[in-house]
Structure 1
Amino acid sequence: MGHSRPVVAVPLVVAGICLAIPFGAMLWVDSYSRLTPALIGIPFFYWYQMLWVVLSTVLTVVAYLLVRRHEAARRGGERK
């Protein structure tokens, strides 16, 4: 009878992509396994990874906000 199928919501897919991007960037070692270009004397290998610490934080916050907004909208729709 009323079997509801799980629906893949776009915000959740985008949140998942935001969380997967840093993993892909760090697993693709050939993209940053070099010394140049240096930034204020810091080899590329190091500053690239430190940049991803900041980018990962931003992407995690974006994913968190997307999921929270989606959950709030879903709860609001259930109350009606």
Structure 2
Amino acid sequence: MVTPVRVVIALCLFAPFVAMLWVGSYAKTDPALMGIPFFYWYQMAWVLISTALTAVAYVLWQRDQRARKSQRSTDGGVAK
């Protein structure tokens, strides 16, 4: 079942792939950050961003699973 929460989870997990596979967006040296070319610090920033997005997706998934479990128990275990 596709729900808005699951769409957000998918976007959180999909965004880092798009950002890293679109090399043309970061294949440059400027702007440098403390002498580190953009190409390198952009990729390292995405390591942190990916971690945060994965954590958000995990929390949303756990919340969604708990909600579905409680909904099933109130429905008497009948799948919709």
Q: Same fold (TM over 0.5)?
A: yes
Give the 3-state SS of the residue equivalent to 2:2 in structure 1: coil
TM-score (norm 2): 0.90
Summarize the alignment of residues 48-67 of structure 1 with structure 2, pairs less than 5 Å apart: 48-67=42-61
Runs of 4+ in structure 1 displaced over 6 angstroms? none
Aligned to 2:29: 35
- Match among 18, 21, 34 for residue 15 of structure 2: 21
Instruction: Give the superposition deviation at 1:12.
Output: 1.0
Q: Which runs of 5+ in 2 are unaligned?
A: 75-80
Instruction: Give the superposition deviation at 1:75.
Output: 0.2
Q: How many residues align structurally?
A: 74
Instruction: Give the superposition deviation at 1:38.
Output: 0.4
RMSD across aligned C-alpha pairs, in angstroms?
A: 0.6
Q: Determine what percentage of the aligned residue pairs are the same residue.
A: 54
Structure 2 distance, partners of 1:30, 1:38, is 17
TM-score (norm 1): 0.90
